Structure formats: C-alpha cells, structure tokens
Structure 1
C-alpha cells in the first residue's frame, strides 16, 4: 500500500508543479533575469546529472573508467568535434580503460 501512496503523492506533486507554472503571470516570465535563468537551468541540471552518474556509486564517490570517458568527451568538445565523434570518443576510451583494468 505504501507504493500506491508514493505514486499518488508523486502524481499530485507533478500536477501541482505544472499548475504552478501555468499560473505564473506573463509579466514575470518576460523579465530578463527569469529568461536568463530559464535558459541556463537545463544546462545546470544536465551537468549535475552527468557528474552524479560519472562520479557516484551508491553513496560513495568513485574515479573509474567513466571519468576517463567524460574527459575524452570534454576534450572532443573543446576541439569542436561533431556530436557523434564526442560520443564515440567517450565510448571508446571508457571501453578501453575497462578492458585494460580487467
């Protein structure tokens, strides 16, 4: 029964967040600060998700092959490589480090 309570609470929470977004006055959304924050928020969330998935294993911080892959992707981005090359470099280096590690 606890799972259904959690599901119901999540549904209500999601609906409340959607409703709150619809109730924001248009004048607030036109402010330059709000526009800038709205543009930067997805980047910040993606960076946080990437860091969490790369350097966390449960409740501990780890430094493994995923970090090497992230480094390869970052280098490819700095060199302005196309997206598929960035992903390919990350995958290949991660796989290579895992293969060498055992």
Structure 2
C-alpha cells in the first residue's frame, strides 16, 4: 500500500525546493545561486515567484530540480569514507562548483 502517491511526493519536493531556493536567494543571492547551481536569470525568476506561481510549478507533474552530480564518479567520490566533516563539505562544494550550470552546458 502506498501512503503517498507519486504526484503528491513530486509536489512536496517541488514546493520544498522552491521555498528553499527563495530563502537562499533572499538571504545571500550570490551564495544562493552557487548552492542552487542557477544563473542570475534563473535566480531572478525564482526569487520573483508568487505563492500561486510556486504552487502552479510544483503541480506541473514533473520535477523542477535535478540532482547536480549526475556523473557516477562524482556521487561515488562524495559518498566514500573520507576524513572529517569540514573536509567533506569543502570537497562537496569544490566538486559541485566544477560542474557546468545547465544553461552553460547547453551553450
């Protein structure tokens, strides 16, 4: 028995992502853009979304965020046994910073 259907789970994930994105961008736009892996144009669009538009996007039936480390090697490297947590955070930030933004990859 499924407790939550896929549509509800997608809506919840999408809304969580949009709320987090807005909070990160309002707190510090540059750091928010880096953490989200979005361009200035996408950041501006996310920051400007109303609650109604966020709900509409969340209800689209598709995930609106993507797992950035899409290569197996990156995920594998980030999840192996490593030294202290501070080094893990730094390594994660460096690995994600090296990935091209979706808009840049298409260019």
- TM value normalised by structure 1: 0.32
In terms of fraction of residues, the more helix-rich structure is 1
Normalised TM-score (structure 2): 0.31
Higher relative contact order (CA 8 A, sep 6+): 2
